[in-house]
Amino acid sequence: MQGSWRAQSEEFYGNKTINYYVVLGKNYPARHAYQGIRNHARLVMKRSSTPVECRICSYNKHVEVAHIRGISDFPVNTKLSVVNSTENLVYLCPQSPLGIRLR
């Protein structure tokens, strides 16, 4: 069914900006404010056809969704559909050096 919860929430939150999450989490450290953005990123990747394996070493037991251009490197009025576009997201394992740098 087209109007699934995942499809609706990906679209709904894709239209929110970084600042929406910063305001939501204003009483918390920035890393908490970004949690909602990361949740959306995982949703976008789950719905994409991207293979669930590390982009660097192809490890597939444990991978995390990382931003190529970091969340804090975007203006706060940027929409999540841009920050969390599949072009800006990669799967990385915790062992790859980039996995530490890219969050």
User: Would you give the distance in Å from CA 48 to the centre of its chain?
Assistant: 12
Residue closer to Zn ion by CB (options 33, 92) is: 92
Element (H, E) at 5: helix 5-14
Burial profile 58-76: b = 16 or more Cβ within 10 angstroms, e = fewer:
ebeeebbbbbeeebeebee
**Any bridge partners for residue 17, and if so which?**
79
Asked if 56 interacts with Zn ion (CB under 5 A), we say yes
| 18 is an interface residue for Zn ion by CB under 5 A | no
Can residue 17 be called a binding residue for Zn ion (CB under 5 A)?
no
Q: Choose which of 43, 74, 80, 96 interacts with Zn ion (CB under 5 A).
A: 96
The region of 33-41, 70-78, 81-89, 90-98 touching Zn ion under the rule CB under 5 A is: 90-98
The footprint of Zn ion (CB under 5 A) covers: 54, 56-57, 59, 93, 96
